[in-house]
Amino acid sequence: QVQLVESGGGLVQPGGSLRLSCAASGSIFSINTMGWYRQAPGKQRELVASISSGGSTNYADSVKGRFAVSRDNAKVYLQMNSLKSEDTAVYSCNIRWYSGNYWGQGTQVTVSS
């Protein structure tokens, strides 16, 4: 079994920054991809950013240049800068490999003045 625990969400003003953290524990395959997804009210869940165990990254076009994903073994981070109101969503951590796909419980990020 794999557990993912997220932290770092909250309320921030437009233009501000937040850093999300996620720690995975349990039986984790060494070759994996960790990522952050988000779901805003009334919208489908979308990939925000991901990073493989080899260090390859992938970003949604809407966050390129503003967000940065990084990892340290089974921990993944999302540095979010220049936040906009449209970044408001529940952000969920994910880890996946060829035979596994696991999610965290989600953390709310609200960008509002």
Q: If you average pLDDT over residues 11-36, what whole number do you get?
A: 96
pLDDT for 91 equals 98
**Residues paired with residue 33 on neighbouring β-strands, in sequence order:** 52, 96
Per-residue model confidence as pLDDT tens digits over 40-76? 999 999 999 999 999 999 999 999 999 999 999 899 9
The conformation of residue 73, written as its DSSP 8-state character, comes to T
> If pLDDT is split at 50, 70 and 90, which confidence band does 4 have?
very high
How much is the mean pLDDT over the chain?
Answer: 96
Dihedral pair phi/psi, residue 61, rounded to 5°: -55, -35
How far, in Å, are 23, 31, 86, 92 from residue 39 at the CA level?
Answer: 20, 26, 11, 8
Residue 30 in this model has a pLDDT that exceeds 90 = no
